[in-house]
Amino acid sequence: MKIKETLKKKEQDYSLFSAAADAGITMDQMDALITAQQGEEDAVYMYEQLAKTVRDEADREAFLRLAGDEKRHSDVFRKYTGMDVKANPAKGIFVPLMYRVLGKKKVYAIIAQGEYDAAEKYKHIIDDFPEVVEVMNDEVHHGDAVKGLL
Ligand SMILES: [Fe+2]
Ligand SMILES: [Fe+2]
């Protein structure tokens, strides 16, 4: 790793460490929360991009609602991490492309499964952070909602 990258990484580690100390949580917990926050931000961007792509008006509105939910979820995690996380655009680029190529039926099934998988992952976080229960339940509803568009 180049010196500049090493320094940047150290800086990030340090700010994570100090944010964890401020919040009174362990680094493992901080890692899990940051990962969750990243997933939520990625989902916001993905649903926004999908809303711009889909042909059905009802689907567009549904995806904008989901994007709003994911933003609220991200805020739940941000309260603990104290950090802003930027969306990784990969899913926001890839999923609308899949919609165009594979069609709505296949893609919505994949998205719904992603929501159920997210809910499953949050099972490990709720012991330490009970507020995340609502986020977890939302993800199950999201999966059902996306399936309901089919
Ligand atoms: Fe979410
Ligand atoms: Fe979701």
Proportion of the chain above pLDDT 70, given as a percent: 99
Domain boundaries, the chain: 3-148
Looking at residues 135-141, what average pLDDT do you find? 98
- Two tokens at 64? 């904008």
Which residues line ion ligand 1, judged by CB < 5 Å? 40, 70, 73
Q: Identify the band that residue 11 occupies on the pLDDT scale cut at 50, 70 and 90.
A: confident
Considering the domain 3-148 in this protein, what is its CATH number?
1.20.1260
Q: Identify the band that residue 24 occupies on the pLDDT scale cut at 50, 70 and 90.
A: confident
CA–centroid distance, 70 to ligand 2, in Å, is: 6
Which ligand is closest to the CA of 66, given by its number? 2
Q: Identify the band that residue 1 occupies on the pLDDT scale cut at 50, 70 and 90.
A: low
Q: Identify the band that residue 3 occupies on the pLDDT scale cut at 50, 70 and 90.
A: confident
CA distance readout (Å), 30 to 14, 21, 34, 76, 121: 12, 10, 6, 13, 15
More confident site: 7 or 99? 99
CA–centroid distance, 57 to ligand 1, in Å, is: 22
Which ligand is closest to the CA of 142, given by its number? 2
- Predicted local distance difference test score (pLDDT) of residue 2: 85
CA–centroid distance, 130 to ligand 2, in Å, is: 18
Distance CA 74, CA 135 (A): 9
CA–centroid distance, 11 to ligand 1, in Å, is: 28
Handedness of CA 44, 47, 52, 58 (dihedral sign): negative
Which ligand is closest to the CA of 41, given by its number? 1
pTM beyond 0.85, yes or no: yes
